[in-house]
Structure formats: C-alpha cells, structure tokens
Structure 1
C-alpha cells in the first residue's frame, strides 16, 4: 500500500473504501468552494458517487495508470491529490489536487506535490509532470510556481466549467529540472 509521510503532522495514503464516508463528508463541506473550479462536484450527490470514484481510483492504481491519494492532516482526511493518468510511452503524467476549506494554508498541497514529484521522477522514472490550472484560479496556480514548474503556455477554452469554457495555464517540470531543484535546495523544507 502506498503511504508517504510528508511531514510530522501529515501523510499521503492511497484512497480505499475505508475513506468513502469521510471523503464524501469533506466534499460536502467544501462543495461551494470546489465548484468554482472543479466540475466533478456536481456529479457527487451521494456516498455511492464517492464510492464509485474511490473504486475507480483503486482500479486506476491496479492498472498502473496513476494514483489518487488522500492527504491526511493530524489523522483527518484533508483533500485529494493524484496523477490523472500516466503516459508510459512518453513517460509523463499530470497532477491534480484539492483541499477542504479548513485545511488550506498549511502547506499540505505543496508538500504533497513534492512527494508525488519525487515518486514520479525517482521511483516511476517519468520524465515530465504537467499541471493545468484555470487561468483565474490564482491559489492553485501558485503551487506549481513555488515548486519550480515552468509556465509553458495558455490553452484557450481548454475546460468546460458548468456553463462556460475557461482557459488553462500549463505548467511543466522535467526530471532534469527536478534534479537541479533538489541539488540547490538540498536542506530546504517547504511547509
């Protein structure tokens, strides 16, 4: 089972069926905030919808096509982060993430991203990670910038969001970039 400590109060764990109730409750508490930028919340109406998501995430991991991990803070499920899928032919993936309102500002996504970056480059031997974020989602756009991703461009009308299209900013990081970042920040811990 995938479990990774991100600091003394937080860790990542693969989502499994034991997480369904808590994940649904977190989604419910954060629904309005999430809905501003994430379309999936409109499809999560019942615990069964969350169970279906978790089962799909478990199958995704079993198929070696990515992972979805719960971000845990002080023993509570705080959010989700994961690889959307893995393109093994070209050795790249993309990462998505979200947090419950009460967990924002604790460095959880930044540290979770660092863990998934390390896992992707060192263990999975991928060459590239991408993050795509709606242009107006300033808080989420800050994460890849802080971690050294390059802003590679803007994709017009890239995502349907409820009743309109939004442009996305594409951020990219290569394995070579990651090695340089690690070499220059060997003793730095981002919290």
Structure 2
C-alpha cells in the first residue's frame, strides 16, 4: 500500500523517513492523550527514535504496515495493519490526535484500509482489538459491522494495571464494502450531506440510503404500517420491496447536495428515518425543514431526539443555515414534544394542511440553536 484516497478530505499514505520529524511532533504534542491507552508510544522521545522506527517498518516488507492519516496536508493520526501472510489475516490498529475525534475520521480511514486488505490484497480475516473501556476505539469496528468475538481477560498491562480486551473480526465473505456503506468515496468529489455517515455516538449513526437498503426499509415500514399510515401518508405507497427500492431511488440525490433522507441506525439496526430538506430565501437566507419517524420498538428511549439534534447540528454547519423548521401533525404529541424539547418554538399553524388534521410548524434560528446548545 502506498496511498489510499478515502474521500475528498482524507488520504492515507505510507510514511517515509522524511516524515520522522512531523510524526515525532504529533506524538510529542499528544502525550497526555496517548498515555491512557497507548503508553508504548511515549517511548518515542526524540526524532531519531522515530526515524529508527520508520526504518524498521520500511525494511520489513511483511508484518506491520503503518499509514499516515492526512487531512489538509497535515498528519493527524496513524492507522496500520499487522499482516500474517501465512494465515491471510491481519490486525488493524489506529490512533488519532486529540481534538480530531467525533468527525468519523477513524471510521472512514478504517473502512478504507479494510477494503484494501480484503478486496485488493486478498486477506481473509481482519481483527481489531481495543480495551473494553475504550469506547471510542470500540465504536469503529462496531459501526463497520465487525463481529464481537469476545473478551480477552486482563490481556494487556497498562500503567494503571491489567485491562480486558474486546476482540472484533471481519471476514472477506462478510464485508459489504466501504463505498456501499457510504464511508469511502475515492472519486474526490466534495462531500455531500450525510456522506460520509453522521456519527451520533458510539452506537448511533445516520447515513444516506442506497439500493441495498430496500429490504430493511420495507421490513421496518411493514412492521409499523398501522401507526405510520395515520401520520405519514407517503408510507401508504410502499406495499412491496420494489416500492421501497423506488422510494429510495426517487428521494435520494446522490450527485447533488440537496439534502436527503437519512436512515437512522442504532447498534447496526435500522430504526427510522429523518429527512432534511434545505431551501433558500433571498430575504431570510437558507433554511431547512426536518421531518422524522421511528419504529415503535424504539420509541421512548430518546433515540430520535439524539438523531434530530445531530442532524440539525450537521445541517446548520453544512448548508450554512439561518434557521430550521419542523412540521408535525397537530395531534402527533410525540413528534411535537420532540421539537419542543429541542428548543423549537411554534411559528404558525397551517390549518387543513394534511388530509387528517392541521399542521404545526416549529422553528429555531441558528443563533438560538447555538446559544441553547448546553441546554439540549
């Protein structure tokens, strides 16, 4: 591996000896951050130490293969694979500079290297190991669909004592593909809203749907048909799996940054959807309307409010919005309560706007949204 284009923001590149100084600076400026889970990196005390480590990696044509994670021409982390050619297996590890977390950088980079290993290099099995308490690191394989094989008890000794290690694996026959999951776009096109997926927390994420999601969408709609058809008339048009595929095709603009329905996932399961529809007014600036629904099995757990919060955050930043609205049926008290808990205020009532009832329009300005962030 020499260079992997993850998307228009991230590139993975094999390091050279000329990278020794900036790799050392990256480690040196992140010592407090690395101490908890990767204290071994603290042994690198000089640029010369780093140069010798790079020389060993370059000379070793098998074994460990580190790649630099690069954004805006800056090295912000390292990801790599330790390959066992005899068994056609590899173990992937990674670390990211403090302050770079929460943007999906590690997940996207990991998806790209897994793709390279399984689909290009012919590796059959990839493992990822992380301390049980290191939830950020564990979230990466979980989002990518790795199987949690179990826990190695007290497998690693850290400065504060022994820790248990969670073990995850992915087989070549199981891998869906990084591009199919929306984590990688090597074309270099500017990123669109919802691509790559919006990561909500360690268990939840939202992403643009694709053709392969029709089966899951149909199953979720079919199991919630009675409750959805009252509030969401569009659901009556989805009577077959073919209808679900057509709904996805017609409502997703993959080549245009026009907003999109986002599928909401919790622990890998599709639980609902959220639509962000941006528009622009010459007088009031850009705004977006947000609508949402969730399967009955997941109601009452605060999942959709977390998804809406993340979607509004992402939409305001991505589209540079002046404000956001939410439309909901006057009698849909759950949907109304969600908007109110997020700090939206009633803007108006559209009488007879739906076939069954009036529609309440809630709104919030971007300024008020930012000001009230700590209260959400």
TM-score of the aligned structures, taking structure 2 as reference length: 0.47
Alpha-carbon RMSD across the aligned residues, in angstroms, is 1.7
For residues 111-150 of structure 1, what are the structure 2 equivalents within 5 Å?
A: 111-150=108-147
Quote how far apart the aligned CAs of 1:45 are.
1.1
Structure with more relative contact order (C-alpha pairs < 8 Å, separation 6 or more): 1
Q: Deviations over 1:95-144 (max 9, x none)?
A: 01001113222222111111111111111101100000011111101000
Greater per-residue helix proportion: 1
The whole-number CA distance in structure 2 between the counterparts of 1:165 and 1:187 is 35
Please give the secondary structure, in 1, of the residue aligned with 2:177: helix
The whole-number CA distance in structure 2 between the counterparts of 1:40 and 1:48 is 16
The whole-number CA distance in structure 1 between the counterparts of 2:182 and 2:149 is 25
For residues 17-32 of structure 1, what are the structure 2 equivalents within 5 Å?
A: 17-32=17-32
Q: Which residue of 1 aligns with 2:149?
A: 152
Which entry has the higher C-alpha Rg, 1 or 2?
A: 2
Which segment drifts farther, 119-128 or 103-112?
Answer: 103-112
The whole-number CA distance in structure 1 between the counterparts of 2:111 and 2:171 is 13
Which segment drifts farther, 24-33 or 102-111?
Answer: 102-111
Which segment drifts farther, 40-49 or 133-142?
Answer: 40-49
Quote how far apart the aligned CAs of 1:32 are.
0.8
The whole-number CA distance in structure 2 between the counterparts of 1:105 and 1:87 is 31
1:171 equivalent in alignment to 2:168: yes
Alpha carbons of structure 1 residues 32 and 123: separation in structure 2 relative to 1, 3 Å: same
The whole-number CA distance in structure 1 between the counterparts of 2:105 and 2:91 is 18
Alpha carbons of structure 1 residues 122 and 46: separation in structure 2 relative to 1, 3 Å: same
Return structure 1 stretches of 4+ with deviation > 6 angstroms: none
Say if 1:15 and 1:57, in contact at 8 Å, map to a contact too. Answer: no
Alpha carbons of structure 1 residues 58 and 7: separation in structure 2 relative to 1, 3 Å: same
Which segment drifts farther, 161-170 or 124-133?
Answer: 161-170
Q: Which residue of 2 aligns with 1:52?
A: 52
The whole-number CA distance in structure 2 between the counterparts of 1:115 and 1:58 is 21
Quote how far apart the aligned CAs of 1:187 are.
6.4
Alpha carbons of structure 1 residues 182 and 4: separation in structure 2 relative to 1, 3 Å: closer
Quote how far apart the aligned CAs of 1:88 are.
1.5
Say if 1:6 and 1:115, in contact at 8 Å, map to a contact too. Answer: yes
* Uncovered stretches (5+) of structure 2, i.e. residues with no partner: 184-195, 198-376
Please give the secondary structure, in 1, of the residue aligned with 2:87: coil
Find 1:103's aligned residue among 87, 94, 100.
100
Alpha carbons of structure 1 residues 187 and 148: separation in structure 2 relative to 1, 3 Å: closer
